[in-house]
Structure 1
Amino acid sequence: MSEHPEIAEHEWYTTPYGEFRVEQKRFGTWTSYSKDGTALITGLTKEVVVNGTGFHLEGVATNWANARTSKPFDGVVGGKL
C-alpha cells in the first residue's frame, strides 16, 4: 500500500519520538506538522522549528514534567462582567 500523495511529497524528519514535517507559512513563519496533520510548533526560522519540534516530541513521549500537547481551556467566560 502506498502513501497518500500529500504525505509523500514532503520532507519528513524522523526522531526516536515521532516523525514530522516543516512548512513555511504565509508571513514567513514556519510550522511543523505530525503525520496525522496536527500542527505542533510555529517559529520564525526553519532551524528553530525543527529543533523545537524534536524537543516537544521528546517531552510528550517521555511525559517530561507532565507534558501535554494542549491544555483543556473553556472558551466561555463565566459570571457577570
Structure 2
Amino acid sequence: MTPPVIDWSTLLLLLRRRSGLTATRIGRAVGSDERHIARLWRGDVNEPRFGTGIRLLDLAADHLSPEDWAVVRRSSPIASAA
C-alpha cells in the first residue's frame, strides 16, 4: 500500500488551532461528518475520500500560514522516504 502524500492528522491539528473550528464545523464545511474528521485527526483513517480531501485542502488554504504548510510538508510520510 502506498503511504498517503499528506499527513492529514497534522493538517487537521493545525487547521483546528488556526481556525478555531471544531471537528463538527470542519466536517460540515467539507461535506463530511464529525466522526470522519475525528478519525482522520487521530490517524485512525489515513486518507479522506478524494472530494473531502480537496475541500479540506481548500479550507486549510484559507487558514494556514506558509510556516504551517512547511510543517505539513515535513510531516508527510513521503517526505521521510525521499
TM-score of Structure 1 vs Structure 2, range by shorter chain = under 0.3
TM-score (norm 2): 0.27
Structure number with greater Rg is 1
Greater percentage in strand: 1
Larger relative contact order (C-alpha < 8 A, sep ≥ 6)? 2
